[in-house]
Structure 1
Amino acid sequence: MTIVRPARPDELPALVEHSGDTERNAATRAYLTQLLDSACTRPEWCLVAEDDDGRLTGSVVLWTIPGHDVPLAVVLFEAPADSPETATALLDAAAATARELGATELEHVVDSPAQAPQFQRNPERRGELLRTAGYEAVRDGRRFSLRNPGESGDLPADDARLTFRSLAELGPEPFVTVLAELLADTADARLAADVRQHGARRAAELLFEETAELKHEAEWWELGYDADGTVAVISLPAENPSVPVIGFVGVAPAHRGKGYATSVVIRGTRVLAAAGATEIRGDCDAANLAMARAFERAGYVNFADRLEFARPL
């Protein structure tokens, strides 16, 4: 019989340890320590599965943005390969805890290939377990990374065709207006679903508010204007609790086909590099080929694919 319970203090931050897998053990232990220190989780959100002999066989941790009290996602989800029942019990317990705290949906991402800090090996099986527990895939994404941006002084220059003005100068309204225009025909599956549910304007407001939860300076967020005076691009670089990110970037429909997608990725990269970033990450929907090419042209490497899952509560 499997029992799911909050981890005891002496079980944190290690949770489940795997013999002979020191890289995984060290990385996940350090990750959970970081989550606890940054208030992305808390001890009572760290759940473990225990067998009849009192051995820990699996774990799941609830995650949120620092400063929030409502969980948004599950991380560090692991269960024995031969026990789908344990996996379901862990995911159901996490969902029940999150629901009691006011959550209406939980997310989980599956990266391939498996890597630190979560080491999500056998992504196909993980996807099956998530679907059995009521999750569905909502986005097929591509992840990109650029290490040591501008270290050798070879970071591309800004596009001379664009003139940038910041959030500090303009205020939020022009940014939300541009986001609404972009979301009306977005290639991103998750954002398109938000538009269907809320309409383009409200989806834009929610995107702006959600991105604003990440650490950023008002001077970092910019609109780029073409020579004709109209908005061509939007750039919202930020820092999540783990790493600086390009955040949201986009090119206005009237200005597509001019190479501005690469230009706006470079702009966000330069902003974060100037703020001291040693690694920058970004992502896009697999269907957004133009943005994937833009990341690559700006020097980024596609280091993983990411399936995003969601479970309504």
Structure 2
Amino acid sequence: MTSRRTHREHASAVDHTDLTLRPLTGPEELDLFCQLTYALDHELADDLAAGRRRPDWMWVALRRGELVARAAWWGRAEEQVPFLLDFFDLEDVTVGAQLLRTAIAEILPTGARPPAYNRMVPTDWRERPETRSVVEDRMTALEQTGARLLAERLRFDWQPGTPVPPRDRLIFRPVRDDDEILDLMAQVLDGTLDAHSRDDLTRMSAHEAAIRHYEDELAHYRSPRDWWRVATLPDGTPVGFVTPARNNYNPIIGYLAVLPEHRGNGYIDEILAEGTRILAAQEVPRIRAATDLGNIPMAKAFRRAGYVNFERTITMVWP
């Protein structure tokens, strides 16, 4: 995608202030970009080399040459538009909002819905005044561009050596094919507590939402699909499924759900245990997982299985 304006024109567009808003010229400007900091800074160089980030997806606001705000989007090497906004740091709310508006207008096709914003934050961010003000400033800047809070998610970590409960009532088999997993994914959207899924259902059918989730996430896992499991009763009746996997960074419990008619029977614990067991057998260094703050049954299941909530994620979206 070519920019609609040159870097010189970007600068002239803000000459009436002391700000310069522009994308990075290349990887050689990573030191400049990292004058503001975030826990994922160490991934930037590899992401650029792999095509998951591009210099024109990484923007800075400079005041008299000093970095005062930055934003960066993440995407897949084969795609022409980014998938996620995951870096956004600022020293001034108004400048941060201006940077986002300028970058979004350049990066995305006209009229396109901006990618969601995800930001990892400490579990106790609300209880620490200095951290709370920083998080809320970023959220305020995003709101000024039209974004709204979608969900706060709990991030979990499982460590090798943590006991995995044995099977009890359920039988597990591999997923037969794409049609089966898509059908199960559509069924579990009935009564879902997942905010992303509920948001999708405001704009599309359950089947369309399942396809979108599959294409956006499951189809890009770097691990064998024969790790995925359907949980059934002894007579073969499906009750749920789990997709243990590897993404670009970690082994994960990608998607876990119980069919509506089988909820409330405690099957979630066995399904999570099976997904954990499959990944543990690969001698992974950790397993990561996440669920919405409001999905209390899933959060409790992770804790019962020995997963530790080590972080949270703020997710904001545009209409």
Q: Which of the five TM-score ranges fits, normalised by the shorter chain?
A: 0.7 to 0.9
- The answer on whether the counterparts of 1:16 and 1:58 sit within 8 Å (CA) in structure 2 is no
2:93 to 84, 87, 90: 84
Tell me whether 1:165 sits opposite 2:182 in the alignment.
Answer: no
Q: 1:275-290 maps to which residues of 2 (within 5 A)?
A: 275-290=282-297
Write the distance in 2 (CA, Å) between the matches of 1:42 and 1:120. 30
How far does the alpha carbon of each residue in 1:2-61 deviate from its partner, in whole angstroms, 9 at most, with x for none?
11112233312551425xxxxx57x5441211321332111221111111x222222111
Q: 1:133-282 maps to which residues of 2 (within 5 A)?
A: 133-147=145-159, 149=160, 152=161, 154-167=162-175, 170-210=176-216, 211-282=218-289
- The answer on whether the counterparts of 1:114 and 1:121 sit within 8 Å (CA) in structure 2 is no
Amino acid of the structure 1 residue aligned with 2:213: L
Helix, strand or coil at the partner of 1:290? helix
Amino acid of the structure 1 residue aligned with 2:164: P
- The answer on whether the counterparts of 1:106 and 1:310 sit within 8 Å (CA) in structure 2 is yes
Aligned-pair CA distance for 1:287? 1.9
Helix, strand or coil at the partner of 1:87? helix
Pair 125,103 (structure 1): closer, same or farther in 2 beyond 3 Å: same
Match of 1:21 in 2: none
Match of 2:22 in 1: 5
Q: Aligned residues, how many?
A: 294
Helix, strand or coil at the partner of 2:188? helix
Amino acid of the structure 2 residue aligned with 1:8: T
Pair 127,294 (structure 1): closer, same or farther in 2 beyond 3 Å: same
Q: 1:2-41 maps to which residues of 2 (within 5 A)?
A: 2-9=19-26, 10-12=28-30, 14-17=32-35, 24=37, 27-41=39-53
Pair 270,67 (structure 1): closer, same or farther in 2 beyond 3 Å: farther
Q: 1:89-100 maps to which residues of 2 (within 5 A)?
A: 89-100=98-109
Write the distance in 2 (CA, Å) between the matches of 1:114 and 1:34. 27
Aligned-pair CA distance for 1:63? 0.8
Helix, strand or coil at the partner of 1:198? coil
How far does the alpha carbon of each residue in 1:242-266 deviate from its partner, in whole angstroms, 9 at most, with x for none?
2221111001122222321121122
Tell me whether 1:68 sits opposite 2:76 in the alignment.
Answer: no
Aligned-pair CA distance for 1:132? 1.0
TM-score normalised to structure 2 length: 0.84
Match of 2:9 in 1: none
Aligned-pair CA distance for 1:171? 0.8
Helix, strand or coil at the partner of 2:117? strand
Pair 29,178 (structure 1): closer, same or farther in 2 beyond 3 Å: closer
How far does the alpha carbon of each residue in 1:117-156 deviate from its partner, in whole angstroms, 9 at most, with x for none?
xx99721221111111211111232211113x2xx3x531
TM-score normalised to structure 1 length: 0.85
Deviation >4 Å, runs of 4+:
none
Unaligned runs of 5+ in 2: 1-16, 125-130
- The answer on whether the counterparts of 1:112 and 1:306 sit within 8 Å (CA) in structure 2 is yes
Write the distance in 2 (CA, Å) between the matches of 1:189 and 1:28. 24
- The answer on whether the counterparts of 2:93 and 2:138 sit within 8 Å (CA) in structure 1 is no
Pair 29,177 (structure 1): closer, same or farther in 2 beyond 3 Å: closer
Helix, strand or coil at the partner of 2:115? strand
Unaligned runs of 5+ in 1: 19-23
Amino acid of the structure 1 residue aligned with 2:87: L
Q: CA RMSD in A?
A: 2.4
